A and B are shown apart, each in its own frame.
Chain A
């Protein structure tokens, strides 16, 4: 079955594409692979940011070229976002600490551009307001799916840096978690080192076939 053809334009240049394929694949097929940067081609690295317009007058916007399917009349413009230096996270974050790290936090005018621009549907502007009021657990939740494409920062006229702040909050909270409560670090091994070494000796037998047999039986209980 041959897919239907549609006409799209990239930076003003018209090319034909197959209906149903992504913008990235359409550009590859047209020999224009370098025009939009690609990192993962799976919607999680944020390299392939583009702005879009439609011939039928629907509002355009921003998206990831690797996740968006082409459609008739779609106009595509590459929109790469440069990386920037970021301040280091701090344990036990507070509103005061985030304001010191990001002096533009309170410049947000609640225009909502960041939320509109986010290809991951994160409520970015609401989350910036939550940062101002130190509601950090909710911020961490908001930015769980952030791919750091940078579009929220790119569209902000007031130089607020939502995704950098989201990362700062997440890392600051993550670093402050109680390692003992999490159960990180130490295996729950009530075994003495000597007994553990006995298990290793038995599992690491030199004969590969016997080693596989022993591993298979060890899996059943996790003990000799």
Chain B
């Protein structure tokens, strides 16, 4: 279980996050949803340990991580456009971290990850030869082999188009399920957040606007912001889809 208590952060005297409380259960997928500048990425970086918070506490399994350094927290992240090393090929990227981690049964596990993410045919390719979806899967593999206690994903779908987007969504869900991996996702897209996660934290101007399941957010919106900026978008999309297929598919 990951627990955030009263987290606040200021940049140049401007408050970015104020008194954020949050509890995430093991194996849950949670999305941090907000517009650009809402503070969602800052919160992700604070959990990761990259950004220092001004006040507040972080606990993982009742262990106080507040002053634990990034690399000792055991969390890991996949960045928005993957940050794969361009001078190494796909395979070298995947095993990059293994060279720092001596463990005995890692060979077999490595193969498991590669098979699970269907990366076998692409291992010898240069990063520039991979498609967006393949890059995403290589980045996931590189991160998963490190066996993170929590997986953080920064806008994992924004660089992907159409069909690939849906398949990566399924992939993320199955990873969380297969490995019982707590996953935290940053996104600005309500549809993505609501269809991908168990729970959603909606952030508006550094404050928690609502925290709940997709069902709760759709049916019991907490306030005007959630209605105006989150639900309205989904309603318009629904309208458009209905128009295309006809009302009988509602």
Specify whether A and B are partners.
no
What is the interface of chain B, defined by CB distance below 8 A to chain A? none
What is the interface of chain A, defined by CB distance below 8 A to chain B? none
